[in-house]
Amino acid sequence: MAFLSPIGGLLVLALVFAFCVSVAAVSGLDAALLPLPTLAGCVLVLLCAGYAGVVHLGLLLVYAALLAATVYCGFRAGKRALLNALCSPGVLFFGAAATFFWVLLGVLQPLFTQWDEFTFWGTAAKMLKEQNMLYPLAPGNLKARAGMPAMALISYLFQGLSPKFSEWQCLAGYDMLFMAALAPVAVVSSSPKNSKKHWPHALLLLGAGAVLPFFFGPVPVGTVSTVYANAMADVPLALLFGGTLCLYFCCKGWAGVLLTALPAALLTATKDMGFAYALIAVFVMFVDALFAAPAPQCLQQRPRALFMALLQALGRALPVLAVFVSWSRYAAAATGAAGGTSVGSAGLGMGQVLAGGLTQFIGIGRTEKFSQLMALMGRAFFTTKVCVVGGGALAVAAITAVGAAAFLLAGRGAPRRRVVLAWGGLGLSFAAFYLFHLILYYYNFSEVEALALKDYARYIGPYYAGWMLAMLCLLGRAAAAVEVPVAGRAAAVAAPLLVTAVCGCVLGLVAWRGVPVAGFWSNADSRYALRRDIKNRAAAANEVLNWNDRVLVISQGDDATRWYYYNYELTATVVRGFGGVFWGDDATNRWDSDFMNLVESENWTLYDYKAVCSLEGLQAYLQEKNCNYLLIDRSDDYLARDFSRGFVGGLAADMPATLYRVEGTGSAVTFVPVAESGVSQ
């Protein structure tokens, strides 16, 4: 199976692509509408299989079902229908762009580099692949075991034919999902047969959609961008949110309910905030179905229209709720946590948080901290850069301009109502979304982090991007619907010019101010020097360690980066360190932490994060935590001088990384290097 490692993802992509084309040939749908629901359905099957503890069997079932459906639908449709389905610009973009990302990242082989990738996002995907089980129950050093599973399952889907986990394949798999989310924006015509004459529109819209993560994810000058080479959930939230709405605008009836319900459920499982995004999408679809459709001709039909809108909204909302509730209960049962969800250090329930936040917002019992946060969030909307043109106000202005262009091109009546309702529904939801983040800053962050509006652009930016993608879709559909006999020759000429102008502005602004010095296309080896160094050291230690072992990592001078890398790489339980003072058996002046630096009591300013202890204190701590190994990653003069007597062979300030076995009990504990196992470097 080793030969499948570099091409396994391409084989999965080919299977998904063929499935979409064959089903489109039979159903008459545009093939570009199918990649996103297909991937969402695959993830939901894997999730259910994971609940049952047979995720690997679920993967085989997914592959078999895709293959069987492809063969059946392909033979039933016939060659001519297959060729017609293949002419969809959106599905061809999906296949070509997804292949491009897999090949490019396969050549460059990027690695995870961001802390959050090691605290959850990358580690979860690795654990799922290596253990063939959902990560809340898998052995590993993952703290956030209740984090949402969709992205890890996408990685698992595309790495199913690879014998081992690869970080670049994980990132490439995510990019394949992103291309699937962008594909529906190219469906500018309700009839696939008419798609050929709208190819210029479709390609412009696809190009603008593809650069939206750069448009709404500006990086400081000289900084390497992580767009399309990032395991975290910010870009997925944006593109899945916008892509789900694009799907809705392009399909009708109960088939449309199914095609949008699956991505909405996937959006829910992407991140904690994905539940809110999914509910907003369902709300916008409900408002559109209720008010944007042509009004019933008689009063007797209006209750039926309301009933159908509610029924379809329920059909979309139920999978969303099922995923959210089922995962919450599964994670709680797997981790032994309480069933309720608490927010912040006070342990308040979500209902208490919302009630308390809303009462303060309207002025009842408002605290000084809440008042400060309100002022900060108000200013941030205008001053904090969230896109290449500036702050949130300018981002909304750009989105409104696209919506206005769509409104001008849309026909009178229902088409224009759809544009107004979509913009208004998303705008109203954004106001609630913004208020919700204000409340979260108050309850879920420390005062220092809250007043700094930590990660503000990262939390708010995905909504803007999804909103813009939905408006681009409506613009494309409005332009394609312009017909010369009805609208006149002037409107027919203006439609492509307006689409070109809007998409050209998006592309031009990114080219002018949004292209970073390096990104997913760069072979930035210097970024991975530390990662590769830790990977090599951990690989040597892993020859001895297994998941039953407990190891404490000491890396003098570390700022937590090296510790998180070891936490990710070691196949053993990495024991948390401590801060404060620990002398022998006296643990009253220390606190649990993650990484630690051992420093002298008279030199507390040597490192930002301090743990003061004696050799006897270290021996006692290792016994308290049931450690059987100690890894000295980096030593220094202090360790060499004050701790050498407890280590066989002593310590040196510039010694290589060495793994020690903890032997003996009580005050007789000694640390013996595992040199005979080839661990010492």
Dist. CA 298–CA 283, nearest whole Å: 26
pLDDT at res. 191: 65
When the pLDDT of each residue in the chain is averaged and rounded to a whole number, the result is 89
Under a CB-based contact definition with an 8 Å cutoff, are residues 136 and 143 in contact? no
Under a CB-based contact definition with an 8 Å cutoff, are residues 572 and 551 in contact? yes
pLDDT at res. 133: 95
SS3 at position 658: strand
Q: How much is the pTM? A: 0.92
Q: What percent of the chain has pLDDT over 70?
A: 91
- Model pLDDT for residues 589-601, shown as the tens digit of each residue: 888 888 888 988 7
- 496 φ, ψ to 5°? -65, -30
Q: Can you tell me which residue has the tokens 């798999």?
A: 173
Please enumerate in sequence order all residues whose Cβ is within 8 A of that of 352, keeping only pairs 6 or more positions apart, or say none.
Answer: none
Is residue 679 scored above 50 in pLDDT? no
State the pLDDT confidence band at 357, using cuts at 50, 70 and 90.
confident
Is residue 602 scored above 60 in pLDDT? yes
H helix and E strand count, the chain: 27, 10
- Model pLDDT for residues 431-457, shown as the tens digit of each residue: 999 999 999 999 988 888 999 999 999
Nearest to 316 by CA among 377, 361, 375, 251: 251
pLDDT at res. 680: 45
H/E run at residue 399: helix 392-409
Under a CB-based contact definition with an 8 Å cutoff, are residues 618 and 643 in contact? yes
pLDDT at res. 146: 86
Give the mean pLDDT of 113-131.
Answer: 92
Q: Can you tell me which residue has the tokens 């990114």?
A: 510
The conformation of residue 294, written as its DSSP 8-state character, comes to P
State the pLDDT confidence band at 337, using cuts at 50, 70 and 90.
low
Give the mean pLDDT of 362-372.
Answer: 90
Q: Can you tell me which residue has the tokens 């709300």?
A: 283
